[in-house]
Each structure stands twice: as structure tokens, then as C-alpha cells.
Structure 1
Amino acid sequence: MLARRTLGRIASQPKALGAAPTTARNMATLREIELRLKSVRNIEKITKSMKMIASTKMNKAQRAMQAGKEYGLANSELFQHAPAEEAGKRTLFIVVSSDKGLCGGIHSSVTKATRRAFAEKDKVAEDSPVMVIGDKSKAQLSRLLPKNLVMSFNQIGRDIPTFADAAGVADLILTSGVQYDKIAIVYNKFVSAISYEAAIIEVESEAMLKESPGFKAYEMEDDVTKDLSEFSLANAIYAALVEAHACEQSARRNAMDNASKNAGDMINRLTLQYNRGRQAAITNELVDIITGASAL
């Protein structure tokens, strides 16, 4: 009789010391799911708010882009009427990005385009200098092309870029003392509200403009060619800045839209998992109550 009582006590004890009952484990799991649901709902609210803000900014950026494209068209028309001779291989690359993230792969797009340009060794010299507008692409290119990176700019384009921003960048580039044969501006070209692609604008340097047959036909002072070169560079940078800004806002809107959808899917899965766990915990408690009542 004593042996039977002892065996019954041993069988009723938990299998391991400190092991929690099944109900306690279920409640802990439900608590974790509830906390995760709360955090995902908060993330969904943030992403939806950021999507609305990006949508508003995108409309403003598109209007500024349409006005800024006129500067780029004026540049292209100028160089068409005064084509320069074949330039050397030393090209100054100006990579246009931004300081902000959460906008998909828009920064890596211009970085990859710059790497592809450097891969064409028959057209670009290995020691060609690189200047970056924006901290995001700067961090990427500092790892990929550390020897070529000579200058970077930040705090440009936090709002809609202006021509004064582009003129300031152009002035710093021309007074930096960096030697180059021509300039290539790498930026994101706006295709539609959901797509963009990396593009390159080539700008002739002051020396190439002086040697151009179209300019040699007229007698001009040196200051005229210098001022025209600086103005055309500022025009090209401004056109690239406003178009890249529109692409950034569009990409951020799409990224926040996808993030909101993913958060909604995760909320549905977690809610289903929470309801199943809660139902299982209630069922276990009812089984314990019925078993206890039957034993009495």
C-alpha cells in the first residue's frame, strides 16, 4: 500500500525540476504573440504615415522635376550645336544620391552604374576621380572605390533641390583643383511613378569647350567660356538633382506601401496564431476542470 502511494506521488510530479505546466507555457507564448502583434501594428501605423507623406512630397517633386528638365534640355541643345572633340579617359564622376534611406535600392542603383562605368577600361581611366552627393552612396563607394573618392556633399536635397544648391556644388567642384577631361553625372532617371533607372549625363569641361569647332568659329574672351562651362555644369547638376529627388520620393512611397502590406499580412498570421493558442489554452483548462470534477 505504501509503495503504491509513493509511486502515485512520483507519477504526479513534473518530469523535470522547474518545468512549467502546459497551461503556463501556453500563456507565456500568448503573451509573446500579443506583444509582437502590438509592435507590428505600431510599425504598420508608421509605414502608412510615411507613405502618405512620401505621396505628398512626390507630387511636389514631380512638378519641380518638370521645371528642372528645361535646364537639362538647354544643356543638351548647347552641346549639340557645339560638339567637342573626343575627350580623354580621365572622367570626373558626380554620383547623385541622398542622405536618407528607407527608399528601396535607389542608392545602390547609381552605385552599380558607377561600377559598370569603371569596368569599361577602354573608355574610363582607373584613376578617374569620384564625387558623391549624399551620404548613402558615399558609404557604398567608399568600400568599392576608396582610392577614387575625392569629395562628398551632404545636406543637399533635404527638401526640393534648388538651383542655388546646384550652383554651390558646381562652384566647389571647379575650385577643388581636381584634374579631369570631362564630367559624367550619374543619377536616377524618372521613368514612371513605380520605376526608375540609372542614367549618365556628360558635361564638357572648359578646355573641351574652347577646343570645340563650334566655339572656335567665334571670337570670345576667356571669361565667357569659363562662365558658360560653370553655368552648364550647374544646369546639369540641377536637372539631375530634381529628377533624382522625384525618384527618391517615388521609391520611398513604394517601399512604405510594400512595408504596410507586409505588416498587414504578418498581423493576420499572428492574429490567427494567437486565436488558435488562446482556444487551445481554454480547451486545456476546461479539460482539467472536467477531469477534476469527474474525480470528485
Structure 2
Amino acid sequence: MIARQRIATVIASTPVARVLGTPRTYATLREIETRLKSIKNIEKITNTMMIVASTRMSKAERAMQNSRVYEGAASILAKKAEAAVSADPSKTLLVVMTSDKGLCGSIHSQVARRARQYLSENSNVDLVVIGDKSKAQLQRTNAAEIKLSFSGVGKEAPTYGEAALIADEIEKLGDYDNIKLLYNKFVTGVSFEPTILDVYTAKELQAAPKVGQFEIEDENVPKDFSEFTLASQILYGLSEGHAAEISARRNAMDNASKNANDMINKYSILYNRTRQAVITNELVDIITGASSLE
């Protein structure tokens, strides 16, 4: 018993034990192990999310291609009639389209930034916000301009029924001289661009120079066609944004998984080195204590 107490006293008084701080080294080793486990769990999550986004990408691309058919059909009459956007609108409606989901890079932030830029350059502009992400960002700076908002967007690929319901609610806000849609245009699998799309109103269609060639007898036709165009182009914008979002999330999760793997390798090396240092310190303490008793 006396010998053990003497050994403990000698080890505690050695310079190596005081400088290295053995209890602190053990705590650091446990911290590294905990951090390493946490990073491995995160890597599993990000890798799973990347796989899910990859499987959803083909469905999003099909929905985007179908929506382009709607958008093309809605634009035929306006193009042939040579409809033009009002040069000096007294009241404009900007429909900002994102989704409710995050973890997809800066795709939502760029749309909100483009919307704020448009508001700063133009006056008498009201906002309709589709998606909680853009609403949360625009509400901080332009809450007074937001007249209507929609949530529950982005869980699945958009459908024409959803777009028509949104268009019906927008029509209830009243007449606007200009209606513009702001969405993320899908360029490539790694590129997207915030784009503003003009939606021709009934007034702009009626004022088109070549609208008379269609021999429209019913005065409600321009309004009905304007409503159809709004719904079709909302579907188009939502589908383009949905495909861009899925692609951006896949890329973001892929990058996150690669970064997590790099950190796992780094912390694994650090853990092994720290563990080896702890073992070496213990051996030094034992040898030093044993030598002092001789």
C-alpha cells in the first residue's frame, strides 16, 4: 500500500505528467470520438438525401417537360396577336415562386434577392408569394407589399390543378395592368437562373394589334384566355423551379457528403494520433515512476 502511494506521488510530480496533463488528454480523446460519430451520422443523412433527390430528379424533369407544353400553348395566341406588355403600368403584380423546403443551396435566396431588386427599381408593385422560403425572406423587408401567400408547395411535382387554384386566388385580388412571374429557370443540372416571365392580361390581349384576325365574338374570351395563361405559366414556373430545386439539393447533399468524408478522414487520423499519444504518455509515466523507485 505504501509503495503504491509512493508511485502515485512520484508520477504526479513528474514534469511529463504536469505538462501533458493526462486527464485533459483523455477528455480530448472522448471529444474527438464523439465528434467523429456525429460527422459519420451526418454523412449518412446527407448521402441518403442525395440518393432520394437523384431518384426524384427524373420525375421532376418529366413534370418540367410537360409544363413546357402548357406554357407553349398559352403563348401561341399572344405571340400571333403580337400582344405587348403595358409600357407604363399603374399597378403591377409580381408572383414570387419558391417552395417550403430548404437544404438546397442559395436557390431560394437568389429569387428573394431578385424580387427585392425589382421592387427597388419599380413602384406600385404588389407581391404574391408562393412558398414559405421566399415568404420568410421577403417578409422581413417588404411585408407591406405581400398581398397573398401560399404554403405547402414543393413536396411533390406541381400539377395543373394546384396551379389553377393559385391562379383563381390571384384573380380575386383584382385587376392589374401587369402580371409577372419570378421563378428559378432550370438551365442545366448544375445551373439555374432567377427569371421574370410576363403574363398577358385581358387588357393587353384586347389591345394587341392583330387580335382581330381571330374573329373573337365573345367578349369574355380574352379574360378566359388570360386566366388560362396565368394558370399555365404558374405551372410552368413551379415545375421549372421544382426541377431546379431538386437538382440543387442533390448537388448540395453530394458536396456535403464529400466534405463529411474529408472530415471523417481528418478526425480519424487525429483520433488515432491522440490515442497513440495517450498510450505513449502512460508508458512514459509508468517507466518514469518505476525508474524513480530503483
Q: Same fold (TM over 0.5)?
A: yes
- CA separation of 1:155 and 1:286: change in aligned 2, threshold 3 A: same
For 1:131-210, list aligned pairs within 5 A: 131-177=128-174, 179-210=175-206
Q: Which amino acid aligns with 2:33?
A: E
The answer for unaligned runs of 5 or more in structure 2 is 1-8
Amino acid in the other structure paired with 1:248: E
How much has 1:84 moved relative to structure 2? 2.9
User: How much is the aligned-residue C-alpha RMSD, in angstroms?
Assistant: 2.2
Return the alpha-carbon distance in structure 2 between the equivalents of residues 51 and 85 of structure 1: 43
Aligned: 1:257 with 2:274 = no
1:241 partnered with 2:238: yes
Pair 1:136–1:14, CA change in 2 (3 A): farther
Deviations 1:42-93 (A, max 9, x none): 0000000000000011111011111111112223332211223551332210
1:174 is displaced (CA, Å) by 0.4
Which residue in the other structure is 2:6 paired with? Answer: none
Secondary structure of 2:47's counterpart equals helix
> Once the 2 structures are TM-superposed, how far is the Cα of residue 157 of structure 1 from its aligned partner?
3.2
Equivalent residue, structure 2, for 1:5: none
- Contact 1:128-1:180 within 8 A present in 2 as well: no
Match status 1:95 vs 2:92: no
Alpha-carbon distance between aligned partners in 1 of 2:108 and 2:235, rounded to the nearest angstrom: 18
Alignment partner for residue 207 of structure 2, among 211, 216, 232?
211
One-letter code aligned to 1:74: A
Q: CA deviation at 1:143?
A: 1.5
Q: Describe how 1:44-55 pairs up with structure 2 within 5 A.
A: 44-55=43-54
Distance (Å, rounded) in 2 between the aligned partners of 1:166 and 1:63: 17
Measure, in 2, the Cα distance between the counterparts of 1:199 and 1:288: 68
Gaps of 5+ in 1: 1-8
Q: d(CA) in 2 for partners of 1:278 and 1:13?
A: 23
Q: CA deviation at 1:180?
A: 1.7
Aligned residue for 1:66? 65
**Counterpart Cα distance in 1 of 2:110 and 2:120:** 15
Structure 1 residue 108 corresponds to structure 2 residue 109: yes
Give 1:200's aligned amino acid. Answer: I
Q: What residue in structure 1 maps to residue 227 of structure 2?
A: 230
- 61-70 vs 163-172, greater mean Cα deviation: 61-70
Offset, 1:118:
2.5
Paired residue type of 2:93: L
CA gap 1:86/1:184 in 2 versus in 1, 3 angstroms: closer
Query: What percent identity do the matched residue pairs reach?
Result: 50
In structure 1, distance between residues paired with 2:33 and 2:172: 59
Question: Corresponding residue for 1:6?
Answer: none
**SS of 2:183 mapped into structure 1:** strand
Contact 1:156–1:165 (CA under 8 A) maintained in structure 2: no
Instruction: Return the alpha-carbon distance in structure 2 between the equivalents of residues 131 and 281 of structure 1.
Output: 61
Which whole-Å deviations, capped at 9, do the CAs of 1:220-270 have from their partners, x for residues lacking one? 212222211110111111111111100000000011011111111111111
Q: Partner residue of 1:40?
A: 39
**TM (normalized to structure 1)?**
0.89
How far apart are residue 275 of structure 1 and its match? 1.2
Residue 221 of structure 1 corresponds to 218
User: Aligned partners of 1:156, 1:277: CA distance in 2, in Å?
Assistant: 48
Partner of 1:82: 81
8 Å Cα contact 1:50-1:253 kept in structure 2: yes
Aligned-partner residue type, residue 119 of structure 2? F
Moved over 4 A (4+): 9-15
